[in-house]
């Protein structure tokens, strides 16, 4: 679990990955002005986690939230009333991607949530990012439809995401 003092290092990882998402797919989510406050709130609420490497320090992050965002309202989950946790802001430093770190993080999350009695881990991935979607599908996550996330920027289209879930039993 992250400490509130680690929020600035987490923000650096998020913004670096956010810059790549924006350049490759036109998705500005992790570069929006509210992101530093969101990261700080995640840390304060004890839902922010850091991924560390001895030589490099913080190399990744994720937030595990028990309350779904509004944009999930129309998603056709397998068990809509099941006990679920929602993964947000999952990022691994670009230079360290494709080395199995993300998969190990997912296994950690799944084991943690099983111990907490959760039945589902739910998340979303940008529709325009086939690499991220393929990653989640390889890890056993099932697509349950798409959702639109409004972008609070003038003249910017909504971001379309694919909603995924995995049963933890």
Q: Which residue has the tokens 């913004």?
A: 15
Q: Which two tokens stand for residue 60?
A: 């990744």
How does pLDDT run across 94-121, given as a tens digit for each residue?
888 888 999 999 999 999 999 999 999 9
Q: Which two tokens stand for residue 99?
A: 């080395």
Does the pLDDT of residue 48 top 80, yes or no?
yes
The number of residues making up the chain comes to 169
Give the pTM.
Answer: 0.94
Sequence ranges of the domains in the chain: 4-119
| Dihedral of alpha carbons 17, 20, 25, 30, sign | positive
For residues 67, 101, 58, 125, the Cα torsion angle rounded to the nearest 10 degrees is: -40
Q: How far apart are CA 152 and CA 54, in angstroms?
A: 38
Whether 61 contacts 90, CB under 8 Å: yes
The percentage of residues in the chain with a pLDDT greater than 90, rounded to a whole number, is 78
Give the mean pLDDT of the chain: 93
Q: Which residue has the tokens 């080395």?
A: 99
Q: Domain 4-119 is of which CATH architecture? A: 3-Layer(aba) Sandwich (3.40)
Does the pLDDT of residue 149 top 80, yes or no?
yes
């Amino acid at each position: 679990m992250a400490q509130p003092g680690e929020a600035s290092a987490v923000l650096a990882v998020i913004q670096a990955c956010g810059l790549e998402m924006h350049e490759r797919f036109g998705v500005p989510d992790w570069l929006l002005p509210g992101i530093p406050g969101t990261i700080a709130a995640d840390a304060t609420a004890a839902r922010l986690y850091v991924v560390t490497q001895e030589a490099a320090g913080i190399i990744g992050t994720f937030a595990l939230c028990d309350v779904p965002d509004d944009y999930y309202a129309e998603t056709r989950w397998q068990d809509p009333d099941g006990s679920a946790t929602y993964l947000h802001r999952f990022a691994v430093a670009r230079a360290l991607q494709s080395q199995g770190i993300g998969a190990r993080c997912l296994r950690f999350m799944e084991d943690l949530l099983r111990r907490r009695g959760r039945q589902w881990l739910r998340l979303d991935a940008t529709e325009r990012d086939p690499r991220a979607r393929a990653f989640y599908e390889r890890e056993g996550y099932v697509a349950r439809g798409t959702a639109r996330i409004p972008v609070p920027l003038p003249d910017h289209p909504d971001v379309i995401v694919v909603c995924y879930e995995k049963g933890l039993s």
